[in-house]
Amino acid sequence: MSYETILVETRGKVGLVTLNRPKALNALNAQVLADLLAAFRAFDADPAIAASVLTGSEKAFAAGADIKEMQSRDYVDMYVADAFAGWDDFARIRKPIIAAVAGYALGGGCELAMMCDFIIAGDNAKFGQPEITLGVMPGMGGSQRLTRFVGKSKAMDMVLTGRMMDAAEAERCGLVSRVVPADDLMAEALTAASRIAEFSLPAVMMAKEAVDRAYETTLSEGLRFERRLFHSMFALEDQKEGMAAFVEKRPARFLDR
Ligand X SMILES: CC(C)=CC(=O)SCCNC(=O)CCNC(=O)[C@H](O)C(C)(C)COP(=O)(O)OP(=O)(O)OC[C@H]1O[C@@H](n2cnc3c(N)ncnc32)[C@H](O)[C@@H]1OP(=O)(O)O
Which residues in this chain contact ligand X in the complex, by CB under 6 A?
24-25, 27, 63-68, 104, 106-108, 111, 130-131, 134, 136, 138-140
Q: Of 96 and 138, which CB lies nearer to ligand X in the complex structure?
A: 138
Pick the catalytic residue from 27, 62, 63, 65.
65
Q: What is the DSSP string of 167-232?
A: HHHHHHTTSSSEEE-GGGHHHHHHHHHHHHHTS-HHHHHHHHHHHHHTTTS-HHHHHHHHHHHHHH
Pick the catalytic residue from 39, 56, 109, 111.
111
Told to judge if 131 belongs to the known catalytic residues of this protein, a careful annotator would answer yes
Pick the catalytic residue from 15, 56, 107, 108.
108
Told to judge if 65 belongs to the known catalytic residues of this protein, a careful annotator would answer yes
Write down the least CB distance from residue 244 to ligand X, Å: 48
Distance CA 124, CA 241 (A): 42
Told to judge if 187 belongs to the known catalytic residues of this protein, a careful annotator would answer no
Told to judge if 167 belongs to the known catalytic residues of this protein, a careful annotator would answer no
Write down the least CB distance from residue 112 to ligand X, Å: 9
Task: Give the residue from 148, 22, 19, 30 showing the smallest Cα distance to 89.
Answer: 30
Q: Of 69 and 226, which CB lies nearer to ligand X in the complex structure?
A: 69
Catalytic positions, please? 65, 108, 111, 131
